[in-house]
Structure 1
Amino acid sequence: MKRALSAAAALTLIGGAALAQTVTITEEPVEIAPPQRVIIKKYVTEQRVAPVRIRERVTVGSTLPADIDLHPLPPTVIEESPRLKGYSYVTSGDDIYVVEPRTRRIITTID
Structure 2
Amino acid sequence: MIVTSKGEIIMQRLYLATIVTASMLVSGQSFAQVITIEPEQRTIIREYVERESVPVIEMDRDLTVGQSVPEDVELSTVPQQWGPSMNNYRYIYTDDRVYLVEPSTRRIIQVID
Both structures adopt the same fold (TM-score exceeding 0.5):
yes
> For residues 36 and 85 of structure 2, what CA distance do their matches in structure 1 show?
10
SS in 2 for 1:41: helix
User: What TM-score do the two structures reach when normalised by structure 2?
Assistant: 0.71
Q: Match of 2:40?
A: 35
- The match for 1:91 among 90, 93, 104 is 93
SS in 2 for 1:97: strand
> For residues 96 and 48 of structure 2, what CA distance do their matches in structure 1 show?
14
User: 2:22 corresponds to which letter in structure 1?
Assistant: T
Higher mean displacement: 96-105 or 14-23 = 14-23
SS in 2 for 1:39: helix
Q: 1:17 to 1:55 in 2, by over 3 A?
A: farther
Q: Match of 2:27?
A: none
User: What TM-score do the two structures reach when normalised by structure 1?
Assistant: 0.72
Q: CA RMSD in A?
A: 2.5
Q: 1:17 to 1:93 in 2, by over 3 A?
A: same
Q: Match of 1:50?
A: 55
Q: What percentage of aligned pairs have identical amino acids?
A: 32
Is there any run of 5+ residues in structure 2 with no aligned partner, and where?
1-6, 25-29
Q: Match of 2:22?
A: 22
User: 2:73 corresponds to which letter in structure 1?
Assistant: I
Cα-to-partner distance string for 1:30-68 (whole Å, 9 max, x where unaligned): 111111111111111122122112223311111111111
Aligned residues: 104
